[in-house]
Structure 1
Amino acid sequence: MVRVLVIGANGKVGKLLIKKLKDSEHVPVAMVRDTNQVPQFEEMGVETVLGDLEGDFSRAYYTIDAVVFAAGSGPNTGPEKTVVIDQEGAIKSVELAKRFGVKRYVMLSSMGADTPGEGPDAMKHYLYAKHRADEHLKQSGLNYTIVRPGGLTNNPGTGKITFGEKLNEFGSISREDVAETLAYLLSVPRAEKGSFEILEGDTQLEEVLAY
């Protein structure tokens, strides 16, 4: 049984990911910042651990085999908060994964993070933060996968996506399908040491990287 620490478990994608992992062969551990976020996961029978990306969250890594970083500062925060959470928080999580010998690390990034200078002005601080975190992960020596979705929606998931290292198109994808992709790629050897873009599409998720 693989124990998976979900950083950002209380976020929209994080909550969906916890449910997907709970229904899989993995054992999710929800990292939350506040005690009032704990009961919702306890009701699901999911273990929780307190950890704040702005502080020391090393205790969250005890007995952990894999990490999924799904945290984000949110669309309404300024550049400073984005750097603290999406960049520095992610980098700290990578360093802790190295220290604790984590065997698998999956990063939820964003489409456009590979070329942040080309993004819209309002998004550049966010894309640069994601870019720096992604590059740090690539150089870490960890067994990583980076997932870069397009615009996120709250539509129901379809279990079908468009998937590739570089799609050269823009679009959207439901948060549910993003969560399912994150859970799926944890166990796909061909996803290791790779960066992938995803959008809504016609390919069944279980067919992605299956051959």
Structure 2
Amino acid sequence: MENVLVAGANGTTGKKIVALLNESQYFTPVAMVRKASQQAQFEKDNIATVLGDLEGDISHTVKDIDKAIFAAGSGGKKVKEVDEEGANKLVDASKSVHLKKFVMLSSMGADRPEQASDLKEYLKAKHNADVYLKESKLTYAIVRPGSLTNDKGSGKIKAASSLGQSGSISRDDVAQTLVRALHDDALTNATIEILEGDTLIGKALESVS
């Protein structure tokens, strides 16, 4: 079993990621949360937690960790500090302990933030964080979903390095894709865009790996 640090574990998508990892036969989740008050919800299910604020020192959070998923977000409030610099800090910490893989939850449009009509600052932060990860020499996977919905997941998506269209996808299916991307045989040093679709997640990732 590999220990997987989930940054942003207390978020809507983060909680889904932690739950999937907790059911996995391959991975053990370690939920990274910002406040002590957020630990109990995970610990009642015997899920390990670690306190870490992306605006502070997080070097301790990667102790005994094998892989990481960055699913944190500032909700548009501190995009530079959290979405960009926080991600970069976790990349640096991951490099220091030679993490086996780093999976980044990014966003569709992060490859061309200057073309965005809204969310420009957010997409710019995500773009910079993605570039930083790519240049880090860590083994990585960058997943860029369309608009997130709270619909029930289907376990099926549409995926490509560039889809050339916009659309939406459920948080359930995004969480599943991120967990699948942790595997060594999925998305090695690759960036993909995902939307709701008709292809099973595992198959969809194979087609772009």
Q: TM-score range by the shorter chain?
A: over 0.9
Task: Using the TM superposition, give the Cα deviation of residue 104 of structure 1 relative to its aligned residue in structure 2, in angstroms.
Answer: 0.5
Which of 73, 95, 109 is matched with 2:92 structurally?
95
| Structure 2 unmatched ranges of 5 or more | none
Task: Using the TM superposition, give the Cα deviation of residue 45 of structure 1 relative to its aligned residue in structure 2, in angstroms.
Answer: 1.5
Distance (Å, rounded) in 1 between the aligned partners of 2:161 and 2:205: 11
Distance (Å, rounded) in 2 between the aligned partners of 1:95 and 1:28: 20
Q: Does 1:18 align with 2:12?
A: no
**SS of equivalent residue, structure 2 residue 29:** strand
Which of 171, 182, 186 is matched with 2:167 structurally?
171
Equivalent residue runs for 1:97-136 within 5 Å: 97-120=94-117, 122-136=118-132
Distance (Å, rounded) in 2 between the aligned partners of 1:29 and 1:45: 10
CA contact (8 A) 1:86 1:129 kept: yes
**SS of equivalent residue, structure 1 residue 209:** helix
Task: Using the TM superposition, give the Cα deviation of residue 188 of structure 1 relative to its aligned residue in structure 2, in angstroms.
Answer: 4.6
Aligned-residue Cα RMSD (Å) equals 1.0
Which of 86, 99, 118 is matched with 2:83 structurally?
86
Residue deviations 1:17-48 (CA, integer Å, cap 9, x gap): 00111111200000000011001101121100
Equivalent residue runs for 1:18-167 within 5 Å: 18-24=18-24, 25-75=26-76, 77=77, 81-120=78-117, 122-167=118-163
**SS of equivalent residue, structure 1 residue 181:** helix
CA contact (8 A) 1:51 1:60 kept: yes
Distance (Å, rounded) in 2 between the aligned partners of 1:94 and 1:188: 18
Task: Using the TM superposition, give the Cα deviation of residue 16 of structure 1 relative to its aligned residue in structure 2, in angstroms.
Answer: 0.2
Residue deviations 1:155-185 (CA, integer Å, cap 9, x gap): 1111010111000010000111100100011
Matched positions, count: 206
Distance (Å, rounded) in 2 between the aligned partners of 1:153 and 1:182: 16
**TM superposition score normalised by structure 2:** 0.96
Residue deviations 1:65-98 (CA, integer Å, cap 9, x gap): 00100000014x2xxx110000000011111110
Distance (Å, rounded) in 2 between the aligned partners of 1:38 and 1:190: 30
Distance (Å, rounded) in 1 between the aligned partners of 2:135 and 2:163: 23
Distance (Å, rounded) in 2 between the aligned partners of 1:157 and 1:209: 16
**TM superposition score normalised by structure 1:** 0.95
Q: Does 1:191 align with 2:192?
A: no
**SS of equivalent residue, structure 1 residue 9:** coil
Task: Using the TM superposition, give the Cα deviation of residue 58 of structure 1 relative to its aligned residue in structure 2, in angstroms.
Answer: 1.2
| Aligned amino acid, residue 169 of structure 1 | Q
* Percent of matched pairs sharing the same residue: 50
Tell me what 2:7 maps to.
7
| Aligned amino acid, residue 138 of structure 2 | L
| Aligned amino acid, residue 93 of structure 2 | L
**SS of equivalent residue, structure 1 residue 191:** coil
Tell me what 2:200 maps to.
204
| Aligned amino acid, residue 140 of structure 2 | Y
Task: Using the TM superposition, give the Cα deviation of residue 208 of structure 1 relative to its aligned residue in structure 2, in angstroms.
Answer: 2.2
| Structure 1 unmatched ranges of 5 or more | none
| Aligned amino acid, residue 113 of structure 2 | P
